[in-house]
Amino acid sequence: MSTLLIWMVALSPFAMIIALLWLAAWRQRRREMALARQIELTDAIHREFGAVAAPTVRPAAGGAWRVSMSVPIDRPETLGELVRIADRVIARRDRPRGARVEIAVTAAPTREAA
């Protein structure tokens, strides 16, 4: 029994290092996935509307993705299309796995106010 305890104590630093390396690799993969989704979403928006919004995509709790973007408030028809595009692009990759999409929209300053 004491031999087993000695081995466990001796190997615990290595197990901790392996666990920390795994955690760092997992976080890096999530970061790369978010960046790939952000690029894909930006390209889709710019293809349909031009440079009206610059979305950011970040991982949220529970496997969801949070999309944030500022859109011009003086063009409400654009808002609905941007939300539809964001949902479609993110869902294309993540809906089979059951991931949610959270879309946060803020009003961009109008041209007169800028």
Which domains are present in the chain?
A: 32-108 (3.30.300)
* Whole-angstrom distance, CA of residue 48 vs CA of residue 104: 20
Q: How far is CA 72 from CA 20, 52, 86, 105, 110, in A?
A: 43, 7, 16, 10, 6
Contact 83, 103 (CB under 8 A): yes
> Is residue 21 predicted with pLDDT exceeding 90?
yes
Which residue reads 């031009």 in tokens?
50
64 phi, psi to nearest 5 deg? -80, 165
What pTM did the predictor assign? Answer: 0.74
Mean of pLDDT values over 35-45: 91
> Is residue 113 predicted with pLDDT exceeding 60?
no
User: Tell me, what's the pLDDT at 7?
Assistant: 87
> Is residue 23 predicted with pLDDT exceeding 90?
yes
Give the gyration radius of the chain's Cα atoms.
Answer: 21
Mean of pLDDT values over 28-44: 92
DSSP alpha helices (H): ranges in the chain?
A: 2-49, 76-94
* Whole-angstrom distance, CA of residue 71 vs CA of residue 76: 9
* Whole-angstrom distance, CA of residue 61 vs CA of residue 100: 10
Q: What is the pLDDT of residues 60-106, one digit of tens each?
A: 877 788 889 888 777 778 888 888 888 888 877 766 566 678 888 88
By mean pLDDT, which of 1-10, 21-30, 68-77 is the weakest?
Answer: 68-77
